[in-house]
Amino acid sequence: MAPTIESVNQGNGGFEGNNKRSDRFVKATWKNKLTALVVDNGELCRVLERENLRAYGVETVAVETGEAAVELIASGSTFNLIFIDMYLPTMSGPEAVRQIRAMGARSKIIGLTAFITEKDEQDFFAAGIDEFFEKPLDPDWFVPIIREVDNQI
Amino acid sequence: MRKFLLTVAWLRMLPSLRQIFSSLGALMDIGYAFVVLTGVGRMDLIVKGWQDFGSRKPVLNLTPSPSKLEYIFFHNVFSQGKKMAETDVKQQIKDYVQTMHEQGILDHNFENVQNLQCQENPHFVLEIIDMFCRDAEICIAEMAKYVDEPVVDYAKVTGFIHQLKGSSSSVGGCRIVVACRELRKATENKMKEGCLEACNKIKREYFVVRDNLNAIAKMERSIHTDDAMAGIF
């Protein structure tokens, strides 16, 4: 059964990043409780993407396939951010994004790939992503995205 | 060994003196240090117990059984020694990773992995290294298999290149990333010879990264076992 993710709360005091690692990470303080979904069939990439986001205070769920992601959204789970790999087995990243958008999801969707090519970029943006980056996740680019989402809520 | 224990007893006294009015444990340390220094305590038997715990967790091998004072002293000195050993190993890892940077074998992404290690997951770096090596070897074997076939399935090869490049870049294996780009280019141009050459390069670069990551993993493991303590004695 797909997990239920709590909807975003408008907190008063702010939600702090995981300050158990604060001696190395910039202590992230968000106005809202942020949630993210990571979709990557590579175990190592999936684990690192999830842990990177959690380190910055984003409650993150990680799944292996596009189908699992679509099922999660279809079950009613909502996420502020979705990080999705281009190349997924069976259901590709662009196809999963198309289905997620067709369900009315308004999450900020960030496409990921090992190699950015012009064709992949066009396909992925046409499917409905908002941003497209080469792996791995780097705080230099994903923290501003999280901040932007936090400010928009 | 006796001189070492005496030295440690003196060193332990210094912080204890500062805590003398706030810590019963510190008072016990001072009391016990006095006992040890004046030869009143069971010095011979404590030495035996010390030697015993070098290989396993500390066991105070005393007959009759250790008193509370003896146990506390023993435990405190052991903890101090363990912390010193751990600090040494962490510095060794830091220096080693720096060397890898300078040689262009690892980039800053490996430090990002290290930064994700925390108290809740103290073995995170070890897990990532294991995961990377396992995944990389599968990818490399599959790529080599497909490239070796009379008719190369370039689409399949591309899938594995993506996977290997993604995981390599995530752990900072920048040279493997470069080799993956070369293989990607060869598959785009559908050049079998180019693919074979690039595959071999990926293997070579992977072995270099793997060996260095395994060296780091060995050092990480030593922090989590009593091996670090055995090095002191």
pLDDT, tens digit, 9 for 90 and up, residues B134-171:
999 999 999 999 999 999 999 999 999 999 999 999 99
B119 and B181 in a single domain? The answer is yes
In chain A, the percentage of residues whose pLDDT exceeds 90 is 76
ipTM associated with this complex:
0.80
Question: Which residues fall within 8 angstroms of residue B117, CB to CB, at 6 or more apart?
Answer: B123, B124, B125
Residue A108, chain B, CB below 8 Å: the answer is no
Last residue of a domain, one of B56, B91, B126: B91
Beta bridge partners of residue A132, listed in sequence order: A111
pLDDT, tens digit, 9 for 90 and up, residues B162-183:
999 999 999 999 999 999 999 9
Last residue of a domain, one of B62, B91, B120: B91
Query: Would the pLDDT of A24 be above 90?
Result: no
Rounded mean pLDDT of A61-74? 97
| Residues in chain A closer than 8 A to B181 (CB atoms) | 115
pTM as predicted: 0.73
B219 and B109 in a single domain? The answer is yes
In this complex, do A43 and B132 lie within 8 Å of one another by their Cβ atoms?
A: no
Q: Which of B177, B56, B28, B34 is nearest to B105 (CA)?
A: B177
Q: Could you tell me if A83 and A36 are in contact, meaning their C-beta atoms sit under 8 angstroms apart? A: yes
Structural domain span for residue B46: 1-91
Report pLDDT for B224.
73
Please measure the distance between the N-terminal and C-terminal CA atoms of chain A and give it in whole angstroms: 28
B71 and B112 in a single domain? The answer is no
Q: Lowest-pLDDT range, A1-10, B70-79, B108-117, B184-193? A: A1-10
Residue A25, chain B, CB below 8 Å: the answer is yes
Q: Which of B176, B173, B202 is nearest to B112 (CA)?
A: B173
Report pLDDT for B61.
52
DSSP classification of residue B123: T
Dihedral sign, Cα of residue B207, residue B210, residue B215, residue B218: negative
What angle do the packed helices A43-55 and B108-115 form, to 10 degrees?
60
B64 and B122 in a single domain? The answer is no
Q: Which of A93, A79, A1 is nearest to A39 (CA)?
A: A93
Query: Would the pLDDT of B195 be above 90?
Result: yes
How many domains, in total, are found in chain B?
Answer: 2
Q: Indicate which CATH number applies to the domain containing B134.
A: 1.20.120.160
CA distance A39 to chain B (A): 14
Q: Could you tell me if B73 and B80 are in contact, meaning their C-beta atoms sit under 8 angstroms apart? A: no
* Higher per-residue pLDDT: B124 or B18: B124
Domains of chain A: 35-151 (3.40.50.2300)
Rounded mean pLDDT of B189-207? 95
Residue B151 domain-assigned (yes or no): yes
Rounded mean pLDDT of B102-125? 92
Last residue of a domain, one of B91, B124, B155: B91
Q: What angle do CA A43, A47, A51 make, to 5 degrees?
A: 175
Report pLDDT for B84.
72
Rounded mean pLDDT of A64-91? 96
* Higher per-residue pLDDT: A34 or B60: A34
What is the distance between the alpha carbons of residues A118 and A134, in angstroms, rounded to a whole number? Answer: 12
Report pLDDT for B15.
59
